[in-house]
Amino acid sequence: MQDLIRQLLVELGEDPAREGLVRTPQRVEKALKFLTSGYDADIDKVLNDALFTVDYNEMVIVKDIDFYSLCEHHLLPFFGKCHVAYIPQRHVIGLSKIPRLVDVFARRLQVQERMTNQIAETIRQKIDPLGVAVVCEGTHLCMSMRGVEKQNSFAVTSAMQGAFRNNTRTRMEFLELIKLRSAVPGLRDSAATRYECVGED
């Protein structure tokens, strides 16, 4: 990989032997391996048997989970917040495991739509809840640094399954709860309307 990075530097018109770039191939390799470490992650080991049987069937929400990923089209970062909710049927997941699950799928070459679905589908498979909902809000540098160069735009994607798809009141309760304190720049009161459109079947 380091040889490829040196060649890339040459193709960009740089001198990989100059002082500031001598160790760049090593640094880039290390960074890329970390940013794509999700490919090697074992979901069962990540969850580490943190599945518990409980008599609880109300909504569980973990919100404002930071994620950082790489767009598979340009290898440029996209980042933002992920909000995850589910309604347990028999089992719950240890709360700290949900952000780790988000990291597993974020640390791959991704598109935000796929990542959102992967998180929801994994929770559905592991605990068979009455419903699961995932909303991701991301800023994409492939839009703000190049192309259309729109620095203030961000993408909102959702995956609604079970009760969150079939019951409008349940879905809207979740969407109202996650808009209370979002740290994504530019999110205003109008976000509720935007979420409602995204969340509809």
Catalytic residue annotation: 71-74, 112, 140, 142
Q: What is the largest CA-CA distance in the chain?
A: 63
Contact 94, 67 (CB under 8 A): no
Question: Could you give the C-alpha distances from 176 to 66, 83, 159, 170, in angstroms and in order?
Answer: 19, 12, 16, 10
In 3-state terms, what secondary structure has residue 186? coil
Q: Using alpha carbons, select from 147, 24, 134, 22 the residue that is nearest to residue 80.
A: 134
Q: Using alpha carbons, select from 161, 164, 102, 173 the residue that is nearest to residue 137.
A: 102
Backbone angles phi, psi at 89, to 5 degrees: -110, -45
In 3-state terms, what secondary structure has residue 195? helix
Contact 78, 143 (CB under 8 A): no
DSSP 109-152: EE-HHHHHHHHHHHHHHHH--SEEEEEEEEEEHHHHTSTT--TT
